[in-house]
C-alpha cells in the first residue's frame, strides 16, 4: 500500500507531518516531531487489530509530557551523571534536566525537535533527519542524525539510526516506544512475559546513574534469560519495577536476537533484535493516572514497557563501558528490528 502522508498537528505555526506505513497486516504511524512512533497496529491470533504503543492524540500533550513516548532520544539517550563528561582532556558541561544529571539529551533533546522527513515508497520507509549544532545542549560538534523506519511484509518494523559529526563528540540514539501487546488501553503489563538475553546488568545508585559495576543476574529477579511472567518479576524486584541496563549476549555491532515480549491472552509476540551492546528495560514505573493518553486512556504505573537498545548509560564517564565516541569521518550506526507475530 502507498505511504499515507497527513498533517498531524502544528507547533508555533509550523506543520508537523505524519506518515502511516502499512504492510503484512500491520500499520505504523510516525510523526516528524521527535522522529516518533505514535501508533502501531498489530492483529491478535484471531486477526483483531490493536494499537500496541502508548501515546497521545495531540502534539500539545507530547510537549507537556516527560515520558518520551515513541521518540528518538538524543544526542545521548539515557543518563549522564553530573551532566558532564570529558573528551580528549576537555570537560563539557551539559544542560541539566534531571538534577544533577542529564537524561535523554537534555531539556531540548532530539525528542523536542521537528525533524525533516523523506518518503521512500519503494522501500515502504520514512527517513527523518535532524541537524544538531555545535554546543547544542552542551555537546561538541555539529551532528547530523537520521532515523529510518521501514515496515516489511513479513511483520518487521526496522529502525535504523545513524549520525555523523564534524568534531569529536558522543552519541547514543535511543528509540523510546512503550509497548503493551494487549493494546495501549488494556491496563498494565502483569499479564505479559518477557525474556532478555543478558547475563549481566549495570547496577545504579539512588540517582539511577550506573556505579560502574557489571553484576551477574544469576539468582536475582534480573535473570530474564528463560522468560518470566512480568507480574511475578515486578513483585520480586519491587518499587518502581525495572529501569535498568542489561549487558546483551553476543558481539556488539552484529544484529542478533536479544529480547522477546509476549502477551499470552492475545497471542501477540514481539521479538527484538539489535546490534547494540545494551538494553534498557523500563517498565513504566513513573507513569501515573494523571497521564491521559490516546482516546482518554489513563496510563497507570506499568502500563507499558520500553525496550531501549543502546550504549550503556553513563558510559562517557565510565572507561570500561562500551565507548559512545564519534569522530569526524566515522558514522554512528544503530539497528533494531521488531518482529511481530500472533499465534
Taking the CB of residue 235, how many other CB atoms lie within 10 A of it?
Answer: 12
Is 176 one of the catalytic residues?
yes
Measured over the CA atoms of residue 53, residue 57, residue 58 and residue 60, the dihedral's sign is negative
Q: Which residue has the cell 545504579?
A: 204
Q: Is 263 a catalytic residue?
A: no
Rounded Cα distance, 311 and 303, in Å: 25
Question: How much is the CA Rg of the chain, to the nearest whole Å?
Answer: 19
Closest CA to 113 of 126, 135, 129, 91: 129
C-alpha to C-alpha distance for 289 and 171, rounded to whole angstroms: 33
Distance from chain centroid for Cα 105: 13
Residue 59 and residue 9 in contact, taking contact as beta carbons nearer than 8 Å: yes
Say whether 340 sits in a helix, a strand or coil: strand
Region of 62 on the Ramachandran plot (φ > 0 left; ψ -120 to 50 alpha; else beta): alpha
Residue 326 burial (C-beta neighbours within 10 Å; 0-12, 13-18, 19+): buried
Cα separations in angstroms, 245 against 84, 226, 264 = 20, 17, 25
Give me the catalytic one of 176, 184, 192, 263.
176
33 DSSP 8-state letter: B
DSSP 235: H
Q: Give the C-alpha separation, 177 to 271, whole Å.
A: 14
Catalytic residue (choose from 27, 262, 271, 308) = 308
Indicate the helix (H) or strand (E) that contains 179.
strand 178-179
Q: CB–CB of 162/128 below 8 Å?
A: no
**Which residues are tagged catalytic?**
176, 308
Amino acid at each position: 500500500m502507498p505511504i499515507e502522508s497527513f498533517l498531524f498537528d502544528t507547533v508555533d505555526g509550523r506543520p508537523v507531518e505524519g506518515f502511516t506505513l502499512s504492510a503484512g497486516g500491520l500499520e505504523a504511524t510516525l510523526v516528524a516531531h521527535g522522529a516518533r512512533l505514535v501508533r502501531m497496529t498489530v492483529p491478535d491470533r484471531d486477526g483483531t487489530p490493536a494499537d500496541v504503543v502508548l501515546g497521545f492524540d495531540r502534539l500539545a500533550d507530547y510537549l507537556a509530557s516527560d515520558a518520551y513516548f515513541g521518540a528518538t532520544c538524543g544526542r545521548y539517550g539515557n543518563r549522564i551523571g553530573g551532566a558532564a563528561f570529558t573528551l580528549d582532556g576537555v570537560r563539557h558541561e551539559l544542560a541539566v534536566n534531571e538534577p544533577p544529571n542529564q537524561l535523554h539529551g537534555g531539556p531540548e533533546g532530539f525528542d523536542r525537535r521537528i525533524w525533516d522527513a523523506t518518503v521512500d515508497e519503494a522501500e515502504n520507509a520514512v527517513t527523518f533527519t535532524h541537524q544538531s549544532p555545535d554546543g547544542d545542549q552542551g555537546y561538541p560538534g555539529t551532528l547530523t542524525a537520521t532515523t529510518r523506519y521501514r515496515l516489511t511484509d513479513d511483520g518487521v518494523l526496522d529502525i535504523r539510526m545513524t549520525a555523523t559529526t564534524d568534531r569529536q563528540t558522543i552519541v547514543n540514539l535511543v528509540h523510546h516506544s512503550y509497548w503493551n501487546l494487549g493494546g495501549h488501553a488494556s491496563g498494565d503489563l502483569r499479564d505479559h512475559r518477557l525474556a532478555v538475553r543478558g547475563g549481566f546488568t549495570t547496577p545504579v545508585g539512588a540517582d539511577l546513574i550506573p556505579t560502574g559495576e557489571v553484576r551477574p543476574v544469576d539468582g536475582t529477579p534480573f535473570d530474564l534469560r528463560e522468560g518470566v511472567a512480568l507480574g511475578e518479576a515486578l513483585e520480586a524486584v519491587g518499587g518502581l519495577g525495572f529501569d535498568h541496563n542489561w549487558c546483551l549476549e553476543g558481539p556488539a555491532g552484529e544484529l542478533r536476537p536479544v529480547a522477546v515480549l509476549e502477551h499470552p491472552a492475545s497471542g501477540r509476540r514481539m521479538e527484538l533484535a539489535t546490534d547494540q551492546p545494551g538494553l534498557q528495560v523500563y517498565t513504566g514505573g513513573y507513569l501515573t493516572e494523571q497521564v491521559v493518553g490516546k482516546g482518554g486512556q489513563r496510563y497507570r504505573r506499568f502500563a507499558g514497557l520500553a525496550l531501549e537498545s543502546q550504549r550503556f548509560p553513563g558510559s562517557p564517564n565510565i572507561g570500561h563501558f562500551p565507548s559512545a565516541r564519534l569522530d569526524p569521518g566515522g558514522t554512528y550506526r544503530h539497528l533494531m528490528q521488531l518482529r511481530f507475530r500472533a499465534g
